[in-house]
Amino acid sequence: MYLFIEGKMKNKIKILPENLANKIAAGEVVQRPESVVKELLENSIDAQAKNIELIVKQAGKSLIQVCDDGIGMSEEDAILCIQKHATSKISSIEDLEAIKTLGFRGEALSSIAAVSQLEIRTETRDEEVGTLIKVEKEGEIFKSKISTSKGTCVIVKNLFYNVPARRKFLKSDSTELKHIIDTFNKIALANPNIAFKFYNNDELIFNYNSGTLEDRIAQIFADNMLDALIKVEEKTEYLSIYGYIGKPSIFRKSKGEQYIFLNGRYVINKNINHAVFNAFENILEKGDYPFFILFLQIDPSRVDVNIHPSKLEVKFDDEKDVYNFVFSVVRKTIASYDLVPSMSFEITNEAEIESKIKFDPFVITQRNDFTDRPKFGRGNDYITDKEIELVFGDLTSGIDKDTENYPLQIEKININLEPNKSIDNRDSEQERGFIIQLHNKYILCQIKTGLMIIDQHVAHERILYEKALNRIDSNLPLSQQLLFPIKIELDPARVDLLKELNPYLEKIGFQIKFISSTKFLIEGVPEDIKSGSEEKILKEIIEEFQINYREKKLEHRDNIAKSFSCKAAIKTGDKLTEDEMRLLIDQLFATSMPYVCPHGRPVLIKIPLSEFDKRFGRT
């Protein structure tokens, strides 16, 4: 720490000159032209502006100008605003603990002035003459009285002119402009009640009129964007949320269209993102990212936005409660929509009568409203308890159809048992909608609007997945004892993994007794596993678990449920009787998400009756 020269000790630590310290500090706030745009736009919003205009040239490197019709500043305030730690937003520790404005640190304008040539033109609503402040060189402030519009106009020229190293590392104009546009749109999206204009090199590229959130979404994204969105809204005393989430038709293959606004401020929070991703519960395929615009309102005292100068990161006083709230609200919203794609055939060349398949938009349904699902001539009773008893002997279905609770209470499904053949005689007693099995793979059945096609394997997967989750969470295993335990030998690594997973396996119905480091007994299995396949399915579950963990990093609970449902479900090629198919469909529509399997594949599709009429020339 110290340097000795000619017997004397000389200090190595020095206090930096003020101008150098200012440039270093400015680097935290002003990282690129986009940083300047963000700070100036937020200042205009805090100033109660109703119209804001942004002008940039050379992607902000030569000019950034933000003008607003806000409350403006007096001459004294205009001089103070460019000083370090000068702010009108807070004045005490208590204010810092409950921040209600976008800006509050008092660093933005002083940092901008340290690395650019700054000019401020401002006039309050009560004054007749405005104020001009110029900072051409650091420490040299010029002021004068001028005639100007009500509000404030901040002009930033030659950004980083005095910090050549920082200017050298700026990206191309197109890249820097993209960052500016992204920030401009985020701020405009958060404030639909404010009109925004954006000029790039004297060309007007964005002109957003003030209006509702829906108006602003249409302005920024597309006129028909709302058709692809689902509205989210829930209010509580602790936390409220509103906004929109995207339907599967607009899932993206890259990040970038996830917007979270906390008390009107755009923020980045991995917990909230993760909650939304999880709420889509496997509707997302690998590599997909959902689109969402969510606004959270919370008491400012319960959140800390003073983590980083950019103010993008936030911390909640109870991260877990916020996570669970967002997850529950988004999941409930998704469950209220019919996510079954409706398939139609679009003629592309009438001369050659060529067709291509297209999928119509998803439509909303009310909770528990499955009127457009298969019916079998019994009104609302698709299958009776008596019939289940006849088909499955003394086993009961135990379905709790209260889909408000997640996961559902599904206690008994076994498609592999043989039904009582006498049931088929009832066909002559009452009319049923038809149901057939196609190539022992798909189930075709009549619905109100046409034809529904169901993948039998993934339908059963969905049922078993929710059943497994319920048993893990409720810790109420139901196991079938084997008359003769099955002895299995595996390598020590797999047996160690099995020991680690055994608490979860026990909850879904497996009973395993470990003998040595390589041997164990299967003494009981879940009732869904077909007799004779116990050893094969358990080994497949272990393999599937390892693949899911390696490729998708799934946590143990979800991984076990997915692995079990995938390997225990009926397979392509398994022949089902009519009553087994009917029961499978009934159980499917009792789940919380009957439209997709745990891995994100669609369970069913619809072909409207109108499509058949069109193909047969009946339109």
Paired tokens of 442: 């798909």
Q: Give this prediction's pTM.
A: 0.62
User: Does one domain contain both 172 and 300?
Assistant: no
Partners of residue 233 on adjacent β-strands: 242
Task: Please name which of 483, 43, 165 lies closest in space to residue 54, comparing C-alpha atoms.
Answer: 43
> What single DSSP character describes residue 602?
B
Give the domain-ending residue among 279, 304, 335.
335
Which distant-in-sequence residues (6+ apart) come within 8 Å of 489 by Cβ? 518, 519
User: Order of strands across the sheet with 117-123?
Assistant: 140-146, 130-137, 117-123, 151-157, 63-68, 51-57, 195-200, 203-208
| Residue 4 belongs to some domain of the structure | no
Closest CA to 377 of 453, 312, 428: 428
The span from the CA of 527 to the CA of 509, in Å, is 8
**375 within a domain of the structure (yes/no):** yes
Domain boundary among 184, 212, 240: 212
Instruction: Assign 3-class secondary structure to 304-367.
Output: ECCCCCCCCECEECCHHHHHHHHHHHHHHHHHCEECCCEEEEEEEECCCCEEEEEEECCEECCC
What is the pLDDT, as a whole number, of residue 96?
44
Burial class (CB in 10 A: 0-12, 13-18, 19+), 294: buried
Do residue 276 and residue 371 come from a single domain? no
Total number of domains constituting the chain = 3
Nearest alpha carbon to residue 464 among 335, 278, 336, 591? 591
Query: For residues 293 and 217, is the Cβ–Cβ distance under 8 A?
Result: yes
Residues 267 and 313 in one domain: yes
Q: How far apart are CA 155 and CA 54, in angstroms?
A: 10
**Domain of 251, in residue numbers:** 221-335
- 58 domain-assigned: yes
Shared-domain flag, residues 28 and 167: yes
Amino acid at residue number 81: C
Task: State whether the Cα torsion 514-520-521-525 is positive or negative.
Answer: positive
| Distances, alpha carbon 417 to alpha carbons 376, 378, 527, in Å | 21, 24, 10
| Residue where a domain stops, chosen among 181, 212, 243 | 212
Q: Say if residue 403 is in the same domain as residue 437.
A: yes
Do 149 and 272 have their domain in common? no
Q: What is the CA radius of gyration of the chain?
A: 32
What does the DSSP 8-state code read for residue 590? T
CATH number at residue 491: 3.30.1540.20
Spatial distance between the Cα atoms of 166 and 32, rounded to a whole number of angstroms: 9
Give residues with Cβ within 8 angstroms of 507, minimum separation 6. Answer: 471, 472, 475, 477
Q: What is the mean pLDDT of each run of 10 residues along the chain (619 residues)?
A: 53 59 54 91 91 96 95 87 61 48 61 88 91 82 90 93 84 92 94 96 95 95 88 91 86 78 88 86 72 91 67 78 90 75 53 45 46 52 43 37 38 41 41 81 89 92 91 85 91 92 92 93 91 90 87 82 91 90 90 81 85 81
CA-based nearest residue to 232, from 246, 215, 244: 244
Specify whether 29 is located in the same domain as 150: yes
**Dihedral (C-alpha) 204, 209, 215, 219: value to the nearest 10 degrees?**
0
- HEC string for 441-494: CEEEEEECCEEEEEEHHHHHHHHHHHHHHHHHHHCCCCEEEEEEEEEEECCHHH
Residue 308 shares a structural domain with residue 440: no
What are the angstrom distances between the C-alpha of 531 and each of 385, 417, 425, 526, 555?
A: 25, 10, 29, 11, 29
Whether 343 maps to a domain, the answer reads: no
- Does 296 reside within a domain? yes
Looking up residue 150, the CATH number of its domain turns out to be: 3.30.565.10
Cβ atoms of residues 290 and 249 within 8 Å: no
Within a domain: 169: yes
Spacing of C-alpha 353 from chain mean position: 41
Can you give the pLDDT at residue 430? 39
Let me know if residue 74 belongs to a domain: yes
User: Which CATH number belongs to the domain containing residue 253 in this structure?
Assistant: 3.30.230.10
Same domain? 404 vs 331: no
Instruction: Please report whether residue 253 resides in a domain.
Output: yes
3-state secondary structure of 410: strand
Instruction: Specify whether 310 is located in the same domain as 359.
Output: no
CA 247 to chain CA centroid, Å, is: 11
Exposed e or buried b per residue across 355-380, where buried means at least 16 C-beta atoms within 10 angstroms of its C-beta = eeeeeeebeebeeeebebbbbbeeee
pLDDT value at position 139? 66
Six-digit token string for 226: 């709302």
Please check whether residues 308 and 425 belong to one and the same domain.
Answer: no
Nearest residue to 217 via CA among 202, 233, 229, 203: 229
**pLDDT recorded at residue 306:** 57
| Closest to 41 measured CA to CA, from 265, 258, 250 | 265
Give dist(CA 200, CA 58) in Å, integer. 8
Q: Report whether 92 contacts 99 (CB < 8 A).
A: no
Nearest residue to 248 (alpha-carbon basis) of 230, 232, 271? 230
Claim to verify: residue 205 and residue 231 sit in the same structural domain: no
